[in-house]
Structure 1
Amino acid sequence: MFDLFAYVNCSHSPTVEDAWRLPDHEMADGYRNLSFWTDLATTLDGAFAGLFFADAYNVADRYRDSVAPTVRRGEQFPENDPLPLLSALAGATESLGLVTTASASLYPPYLLAKKLSTLDDLTDGRVGWNVVTSAGRLEFENVLDGRIPHDERYDRAAEFLTVVRSLWEDSWDDDAVVRDAAGGTYADPEGVSFVDHEGEYFDVPGPHMTQPTPQRTPVIFQAGQSDRGRAFAARNAEALFSFSLSRTGFADYAADVRERAADAGRDPNDLRLYPAITPYVAETAADAERERDRVLDVIEPETGLVRLSNHLDHDYSQYDTDEPLEAIDADGIRGALRAFLADDREWTVGEAAVRYARYPTAEFVGTPASVADELEQWGEAGADGFVVTAPVVPGGLEAVVDLLVPELRDRGLVPRYGNETLRERLLDRPADDPAPPRR
């Protein structure tokens, strides 16, 4: 069975920034309107396991050492915050999971633990948390005193997870709330405790402000693809979101992270692996190719150079576009470059820029049957489902709901979702048995 997640952000475009130039890309204006989001969520409800929100906290300024190209191209800017949106989407849907990105480098753990617990209550246990560590210079300078080095960000994130999981799992007993009206006791003081965390990066006494929620701990997602990121994900994550250009590249990634999980003392089958894909699906192969070509026609190479420079914290304006793309010692999102270098071809900077302008996702162009065939092969390579990106929103996601999901259901590959929590749905694990074990 495959779980499908729709990938979006609270900006004008989730994947192809230049898509705002297409007349039917309603997200260009719609991302600021609640009705756009509730309409999209209800379209996905029942067909998709969840809606996955990416998020960032900076205006990219690495390309030409200026924010002007970012503003001109619209690369990840402007962008609203997804957290306030989730409760409204919960009220508009019945089964759709809601996964939000929040940075372990920029949020205090006590504050984020309360926010996510509140959302878990309001969604009846449908919340997931995509743990990121942030990368851009400005996001650290706007929130903290300065940038945290790449590997240290993961050390902080590991301790951050220890803190929030202690708050979620240890601070309240299941039966702490007694609501004894006659005796005048709302909660048993013996059932609520301090966590008294004292660590290298955080000192958090507690107790948690929120009583146990349907999941207690939201499902933990992570997308680290650098060596340090994979090690962190293998130890701490439950669902891994990844970028791979080819099935072979994904199979290598899957084998690597499952081996790392086993080395960390975990059952590697506890991990759920969700590679990102971009399906252009239509009734005929010719129609699908026309849709793909329509998107490619609006992409400017500079958009990809801005995005690469932002994600890798490295100014790609200094290279001739015909130069080969090479490994660099970047302090940004290192997995962004790794997706190209792991592929079975040599890329020039210009080729990588055009490709990265629509993210390094695997692209499938064809009929529902042909795309489903491809997805089955990725399942054999280790995929438990997919994070579905669509350059044109809502049209690209509507095509998946109307055409691809029925084909996958006919093959017994996509379930029909009920009122279970997201944890039960993805991991077949109740709230009182969260995973992985804390380390």
Structure 2
Amino acid sequence: MPRTRPGQIHLAAFMNAGPGGVGSWRHPDAESGWFSPAFYQKVGRILEAARFDFVFFADSLGIPRSFGNSIENHVHYGVGTPRLDPIPVIAQIAAVTKHLGVGATLSTGYQQPFNAARTFSSLDHLTGGRAGWNVVTSFQDAEALNFGNEKLPGRTERYQRADEFLEVTARLWDSWQDGALKLDKASGDFADPGKVASIDHQGRHFQVQGPLSLPRAPQGYPVIIQAGSSPDGRDFAARWADVIFCSHASIDSAIAFYADVKSLAAKYGRDPDHIKILPAVTPIVGRSEEEAEARKREFEELVPAEAGLARLSYHIDVDLSQFDLDKPLPPLDVKGVYGHYREVLEVAARENLTVRQLGKWYGARTEGDLVGTPALIADRMEEWFDRRAADGFMVVPTHVPAAFGEFAELVVPELQRRGLFREHYEGATLRENLGVPRPAAGEWKSRLR
């Protein structure tokens, strides 16, 4: 088909430092080396050889009790647990790669800005400018209970805290001016004190003197990744994010989301082209359509309905165990549920799925419905890119690391043949490869409401 939009797509990889998606660990080709550096380094090498922009790791700070007020299903089926701390995991990947960006999730709800600023600045220095931070506000009481609280604050309060958190980290990253480090052996001047200053922040949530104990990092700030779909989340992402990770059940909803966030970014004085929107996709590729469909059926058979229900209960914060599994899901009060998860519930209502069927379907669903030959999958990606539903894609694997290997072997060459994806890395840092400029010192001021 003729191209209607110049440029190329960006590709990122979504990972868990543990079993991953529902049933994925049961796949015959899945490996279970979650506690071994070699497992993650193998993934990193595959992704870098395929010229991916970055890999990032999801995280949460507790085992959910959202299904039956118990951790039983999550533990029994390996739904979101166990999970390693992603920071040391991405350091292992960075050690064996030169260009691949590495990102980790860190919550603004249960950390302090100084520690976050220091951690990601350290990573950016040690990786030569390849660090990314997936900013989350947390959304489960299971996390609150691990930090001395009975419940999470409300959504608006969480985003207000996140706003101040990002402001403080940005001020800390800027507390050393570029060029502050001298290292002049002859004069004995290690650094210029005139280019290092305290921030003296006194806010509602944080009081931080500063300065940071590190000079300004290669990227200035790490690449900020965010996944908010609520009105508060979109506003936050439009002001702070460099990459937005999202999920959509249709191209029409993706186009609407894309246009909304880009217009919000322009409203805040940002160049919309400097925010990359990457919808999630789960490609199931075969050398024929029949092979791809057979692979999809194979994956679906690995997913117990109860595991899917545990996962969905966690995502929508509604305990689905309270309903008869063999009757249709009754209408739910889900005022706090936005974006893709609301669309999921609409599908359940429209198709009159029983609760059990919904669990099976949700646990085995594949993001973006990309099932087919390399050409078919590339067609779909090209359509989403050309119609401004996406600037690229977050590839969510059915199993690790083989699914990444199959995508790299079969789909990436087709994208490159069409001129849709790079054959060589363009820059030295993650920002350069994404086409996102290094922020000037003080740029954070324009991000405030």
Work out which of the residue numbers 193, 215, 231 in structure 2 matches 1:227. Answer: 231
What residue is the counterpart of 1:438 in the other structure? Answer: 447
Is it true that 1:151 corresponds to 2:159 in the alignment?
Answer: no
* Unaligned 5+ runs, structure 1: none
Residue 60 of structure 1, CA deviation: 0.8
Question: Over residues 182-206 of structure 1, what are the superposed CA-to-partner deviations in whole Å (9 max), with x where a residue is unaligned?
Answer: 3322111111100111111111111
Is the CA contact (8 Å cut-off) linking 1:86 and 1:119 kept in structure 2? no
Structure 1 residues 434 and 404, CA gap change in structure 2 (3 angstroms):
farther
* Unaligned 5+ runs, structure 2: 1-7
What residue is the counterpart of 1:34 in the other structure? Answer: 37
Is it true that 1:8 corresponds to 2:11 in the alignment?
Answer: no
Structure 1 residues 30 and 435, CA gap change in structure 2 (3 angstroms):
farther
Structure 1 residues 11 and 284, CA gap change in structure 2 (3 angstroms):
same
Q: Distance in 2 between matches of 1:342 and 1:384?
A: 26
Structure 1 residues 217 and 40, CA gap change in structure 2 (3 angstroms):
same
Residue 320 of structure 1, CA deviation: 3.3
Is it true that 1:381 corresponds to 2:384 in the alignment?
Answer: no
Deviation larger for 74-83 or 426-435: 426-435
Work out which of the residue numbers 408, 413, 421 in structure 2 matches 1:406. Answer: 413
Work out which of the residue numbers 273, 297, 306 in structure 1 matches 2:277. Answer: 273
* Residues 54-69 of structure 1: pairs in structure 2 closer than 5 A: 54-69=58-73
Is the CA contact (8 Å cut-off) linking 2:274 and 2:436 kept in structure 1? no
Normalised by the size of structure 2, how large is the TM-score?
0.91
Residue 163 of structure 1, CA deviation: 0.5
Is it true that 1:205 corresponds to 2:209 in the alignment?
Answer: yes
**Structure 2 counterpart of 1:365, which letter?**
V
Question: Over residues 238-285 of structure 1, what are the superposed CA-to-partner deviations in whole Å (9 max), with x where a residue is unaligned?
Answer: 211001122122112212222332333433333211000011112111
Structure 1 residues 395 and 82, CA gap change in structure 2 (3 angstroms):
same
Residue 84 of structure 1, CA deviation: 0.8
Normalised by the size of structure 1, how large is the TM-score?
0.93
Work out which of the residue numbers 424, 427, 431 in structure 1 matches 2:432. Answer: 424
Q: Secondary structure at the match of 1:229?
A: helix
Q: Secondary structure at the match of 2:433?
A: helix
Q: Distance in 1 between matches of 2:148 and 2:367?
A: 32
What is the number of residues matched between the two proteins? 433
What residue is the counterpart of 1:238 in the other structure? Answer: 242
Residue 315 of structure 1, CA deviation: 0.6
Q: Distance in 1 between matches of 2:120 and 2:293?
A: 41
User: What percentage of residue pairs aligned between the two structures are identical?
Assistant: 37
What residue is the counterpart of 1:112 in the other structure? Answer: 116
Is the CA contact (8 Å cut-off) linking 2:12 and 2:54 kept in structure 1? yes
Structure 1 residues 404 and 353, CA gap change in structure 2 (3 angstroms):
same
Is the CA contact (8 Å cut-off) linking 2:227 and 2:246 kept in structure 1? yes
Query: How big is the alpha-carbon RMSD for the aligned residues of Structure 1 and Structure 2?
Result: 2.1
Q: Secondary structure at the match of 1:392?
A: coil
**Structure 2 counterpart of 1:353, which letter?**
G
What residue is the counterpart of 2:5 in the other structure? Answer: none
Q: Secondary structure at the match of 2:79?
A: coil
Residue 326 of structure 1, CA deviation: 4.1
Is the CA contact (8 Å cut-off) linking 1:105 and 1:157 kept in structure 2? yes
What residue is the counterpart of 1:391 in the other structure? Answer: 398
Question: Over residues 292-314 of structure 1, what are the superposed CA-to-partner deviations in whole Å (9 max), with x where a residue is unaligned?
Answer: 11000111111121112112222
Residue 433 of structure 1, CA deviation: 7.2
